[in-house]
Chains A and B, each alone.
Chain A
Amino acid sequence: MGYPILSLLIGLPLIAAAICLFVDARTARWIALAATLIDLLLGLCLWTRYEIGGPQWQFTEHVALFGRFAWALGIDGIALLLIVLSVFLMPICIAASWEAIEKRVPEYMAAFLLMESLMIGVFAAQDLFLFYIFFEAGLIPMYLIIGIWGGANRIYASYKFFLYTLLGSVLMLIAMLWMANEAGTTDIPTLMAYDFPAQAQTWLFLAFFASFAVKMPMWPVHTWLPDAHVQAPTAGSVILAGVLLKMGGYGFIRFSLPMFPIASAELMWLVMGLSMVAVVVTSLIALVQEDMKKLIAYSSVAHMAFVTIGLFAFNRQGLEGALMVMLGHGLVSGALFLCVGVIYDRMHTREIARYGGLSNNMPKYALLFMLFTMASVGLPGTSNFVGEFLALVGAYEISSWVAFVATIGVILGAAYMLYLYARIAYGAARTEEAAAMPDLNAREVAMLVPIALAVLWMGVYPESFLAPMRNDVGSILARLAPAAPESDAKVSIGKPAAATAPDSHHSAEAHN
Chain B
Amino acid sequence: MSITASLTLTMPELILSIGAMFLLMVAAFGGDGLARAIGWGAVALFGAAGFSLLGPAGSGGPGFDGLYIADNFAAFAKLLIYIAAAVSVMVAPGFFDRAGGYRAEYPILILFSAVGMGMMVSAGDLLTLYVGLELQSLSAYVLASFQRRDARSAEAGLKYFVLGALASGILLYGISLLYGFTGTTLFAGISDSLAQTIGTEGRVSIGQLFGLVFVFAGLAFKISAVPFHMWTPDVYEGAPTPVTAFFASAPKVAAMALLLRVAVDAMGSSTDAWRQIVVFSALASTILGGVAAIGQTNFKRLLAYSSINNVGFALFGLAAGTPQGVAATMTYMAVYVAMTLGSFICVLQMRDTDGEPVETIASLSGLSRSRPGLAAALAIFMFSLAGIPPLFGFWPKFLVFEALVQEGFWPLAMIGIATSVIGAFYYLKIVKTMYFDEPAAEYAPSESTLEYGLIGIAALAVSPLGYLAIPLLDATSMAAAHSLF
> Which residues on A are within 8 Å of B, measured CB to CB?
21, 65-68, 104, 107, 129, 132-134, 136-137, 139-140, 143-144, 147-148, 154-155, 158-159, 162-163, 166-167, 170-171, 173-174, 177-178, 180-181
- Chain B residues within 8 Å of chain A by Cβ, number: 32
Q: Which 9 A-B pairs have the closest CB atoms?
A: A67-B471, A133-B389, A177-B405, A137-B390, A170-B417, A67-B470, A147-B436, A66-B470, A136-B389
**Residue pair B435, A144 in contact (C-beta under 8 Å):** yes
Q: Does B46 contact A (CB under 8 A)?
A: no
* Interface residues in B376-417 (C-beta closer than 8 Å to A): 383, 388-390, 394, 398, 401-402, 405-406, 410, 413-414, 417
Interface assignment of B244: CB less than 8 Å from any CB of chain A: no
Contact of B436 among A21, A67, A134, A154 (CB under 8 A): A154
For residues 413 through 458 of chain B, which have their beta carbon under 8 Å from a beta carbon of chain A?
413-414, 417-418, 420-421, 424-425, 428, 431-432, 435-436
- A163 and B425 form a contact (CB under 8 A): yes
Contacts of B474 in A (CB 8 A): 67-68
A69: shortest Cβ distance to chain B, in Å? 8
A129 contact set on B, CB distance < 8 A: 398
B477–chain A nearest beta-carbon distance, Å: 11
Instruction: Check: B1 CB closer than 8 A to any chain A CB.
Output: no
Chain A nearest CB from B377 CB (Å) reads 13
Known: A67-B470, A137-B390. Contact between A170 and B432, CB under 8 A?
Answer: no
User: Quick check: A155 and B436 within 8 Å, CB to CB?
Assistant: yes
Chain A interface SS verdict (over half)? helix
Which residue in chain B gives the minimum CB-CB distance to A182?
Answer: B405
B350 to chain A, nearest CB (A): 22
Cβ-defined partner of A147 (8 Å) among B421, B435, B471? B435
Cα A379 to Cα B461 with chains together (Å): 53
Q: How many angstroms between the C-alpha atoms of A78 and B156 in the bound complex?
A: 60
- Residues of B with C-beta under 8 A to A133: 389-390, 394
Q: Is the CB of A155 within 8 A of B414?
A: no
B389 CB to nearest A CB, Å: 4
In the complex with contacts A67-B474, A143-B428, A163-B424, A174-B405 CB distance below 8 A: yes
Which of B398, B402, B414 has a CB less than 8 Å from the CB of A171?
A: B414
A162 adjacent to B417 (CB under 8 Å): no
CB <8 Å contact, A162 and B435: no
* A136 to B436 Cα, complex, angstroms: 21
Selected from B383, B417, B470, the residue in CB contact (under 8 A) with A173 is B417
Q: Closest approach, in angstroms, between the C-beta of B117 and any C-beta of chain A?
A: 29
Check if A166 sits within 8 Å of B467, measured CB to CB: no
The CA-CA distance from A104 to B434 in the complex, in Å, is 14
Evaluate whether A178 and B421 lie within 8 angstroms (CB atoms) in the complex, with A66-B467, A67-B470 already known: no
Q: A177-B402, A181-B405 known; A137 and B389 CB under 8 Å?
A: yes
- Tell whether B468 is near chain A: CB-to-CB under 8 Å: yes
Residue of A whose beta carbon sits closest to that of B424: A166
* Additional 13 contacts, C-beta under 8 A, given A66-B470, A129-B398, A148-B436: A66-B467, A68-B474, A136-B388, A140-B388, A159-B425, A167-B418, A170-B420, A171-B418, A174-B401, A174-B410, A177-B398, A181-B402, A181-B405
B contact residues around A163 at 8 Å (CB): 421, 424-425, 428
**Measured between alpha carbons, how far is A126 from B420 in the docked complex, in Å?**
27
Q: Are B432 and A177 in contact (CB under 8 A)?
A: no
Mark each residue of chain B from 357 to 391: 1 if its CB lies under 8 Å from any CB of chain A, else 0.
00000000000110010000000000100001110
> How distant is the Cα of A143 from the Cα of B425 in the complex, in angstroms?
12
CB-based contact B436/A177 at 8 Å = no
Q: How far is the CA of A132 from the CA of B402 in the complex (A)?
A: 14
> CA of A107 to CA of B436 in the docked complex: distance in angstroms?
13
Chain A residues within 8 Å of B369, by CB = 104
Task: Tell me the complex Cα distance, A66–B436, Å.
Answer: 34
- A-contact bits for B297-311, CB 8 A (1 contact / 0 none): 000000000000000
A-B contact pairs, 12 of them (CB 8 A): A66-B467, A66-B471, A68-B470, A137-B389, A144-B431, A144-B435, A162-B424, A163-B428, A170-B421, A173-B398, A174-B405, A180-B402
| A107 contacts across to B, CB distance below 8 A | 368, 372
With both chains docked as a complex, state the minimum distance between the C-beta of A167 and any C-beta of chain B, in angstroms.
Answer: 5
Which B257-272 residues sit within 8 Å CB-CB of chain A? Answer: none
Q: Is B418 a contact partner of A177 (Cβ separation < 8 A)?
A: no
Q: A137-B390, A163-B424, A170-B421 are in contact. Are A177 and B471 (CB under 8 A)?
A: no
Contact digits for B333-354, partner A, Cβ 8 Å, 1 yes 0 no: 0000000000000000000000
* Complex interface: chain B residues within 8 A of A140 (CB): 383, 388
Contacts A65-B468, A67-B470, A136-B389; A174 near B417 (Cβ below 8 A): yes
Residue of B nearest to A146 (CB): B436
- Given known A137-B390, A174-B405, contact A147–B420 (CB-CB < 8 A): no
**B467 to A, closest residue via Cβ:** A66
- Output the residue of B405, B414, B418 with the most chain A CB within 10 A: B405
The complex places the Cα of A65 from the Cα of B465 at a distance, in Å, of: 11
Residue in A65, A132, A139, A171 whose CB lies within 8 Å of B417: A171
Question: Do B421 and A166 have beta carbons less than 8 Å apart?
Answer: yes
Residues 471-485 of chain B, each 1 if its beta carbon lies under 8 Å from chain A, else 0:
100100000000000
- The interface residues of chain B lying within 8 Å CB-to-CB of A148 are 435-436
Give the residues in chain A near B417, CB-CB below 8 Å: 170-171, 173-174
Give the docked Cα–Cα distance between A96 and B414 (Å): 41
Residue of chain A at shortest CB distance from B471: A67
In the bound complex, CA of A143 to CA of B424 (Å) = 13
Considering the complex, give the chain B residue whose CB is closest to the CB of A175: B410
The smallest beta-carbon distance between B100 and chain A, in angstroms, is 38
Q: Is the pair B401, A173 in contact by a Cβ cutoff of 8 Å?
A: yes
C-alpha gap A25/B383 in the complex (Å): 26
Q: What residues of B have a CB within 8 angstroms of the CB of A180 in the complex? A: 402
Which B residues from 132 to 146 make CB contacts under 8 A with A? none
A201 CB, min distance to chain B CBs, angstroms: 14
A147 in contact with B405 (CB, 8 Å) = no
Which of A104, A129, A133 has the most chain B CB atoms inside 10 A of its CB? A133
Q: How far is the CB of A489 from chain B (nearest CB, A)?
A: 39
From 281 to 328 in chain B, residues with beta carbon under 8 angstroms from any chain A beta carbon are none
Instruction: Tell whether, in the assembled complex, residue A167 and residue B405 are in contact, meaning their CB atoms are under 8 Å apart.
Output: no
A177 in contact with B435 (CB, 8 Å)? no
* Chain A neighbourhood of B436, CB < 8 A: 147-148, 154-155, 158
> Which residues on the B side are within 8 Å of A21 (C-beta)?
372
Chain A, Cβ-Cβ closest to B406: A181
Given contacts A136-B388, A159-B428, A166-B421, contact A174 B435 (CB under 8 A): no
- Residue of chain B at shortest CB distance from A180: B402
Is the beta-carbon distance between B405 and A178 smaller than 8 angstroms?
yes
Q: Which residues of A contact B470 (CB under 8 A)?
A: 66-68
Is the Cβ of B432 less than 8 Å from the Cβ of A158?
yes
A residues within 8 A CB of B413? 174, 177
- Cα A166 to Cα B420 with chains together (Å): 9
In the bound complex, how far is the Cα of B432 from the Cα of A68, in angstroms?
A: 33
Decide: A162 and B467 in contact? CB cutoff 8 A.
no
Q: How far is the CA of A170 from the CA of B421 in the complex (A)?
A: 8
| CA A173 to CA B401, docked complex, whole Å | 9
Report A-chain residues with C-beta under 8 Å of the C-beta of B431: 143-144
The distance in angstroms between the C-alpha atoms of A178 and B406, with both chains bound, is: 7
Minimum distance in angstroms from A469 CB to a CB of chain B = 29
- The interface residues of chain A lying within 8 Å CB-to-CB of B420 are 170
User: In the complex, how many angstroms separate the beta carbon of A294 from the nearest chain B beta carbon?
Assistant: 22
A132 with B405: CB separation less than 8 A: no
Determine the residue in chain B with the shortest Cβ distance to A144. B435
Q: Are B389 and A132 in contact (CB under 8 A)?
A: yes
Q: Which residues of the partner chain A approach B418 to less than 8 Å between Cβ atoms?
A: 167, 170-171
**Chain A residue at minimum C-beta to C-beta distance from B473:** A67
Question: Is B389 a contact partner of A65 (Cβ separation < 8 A)?
Answer: no
Q: Is the CB of A65 within 8 A of B425?
A: no
A52 to chain B, nearest CB (A): 33
Chain B contacts for A181, CB-based, 8 A: 402, 405-406
Residues of A within 8 A of B389 (CB): 132-133, 136-137
Report the bound CA distance from A159 to B421 in whole Å. 11
Closest to B468 in A: A65
In the complex, what residue of chain A is closest to B415 when comparing beta carbons?
A174
Q: Which of A134, A155, A167 contacts B432 (CB 8 A)?
A: A155
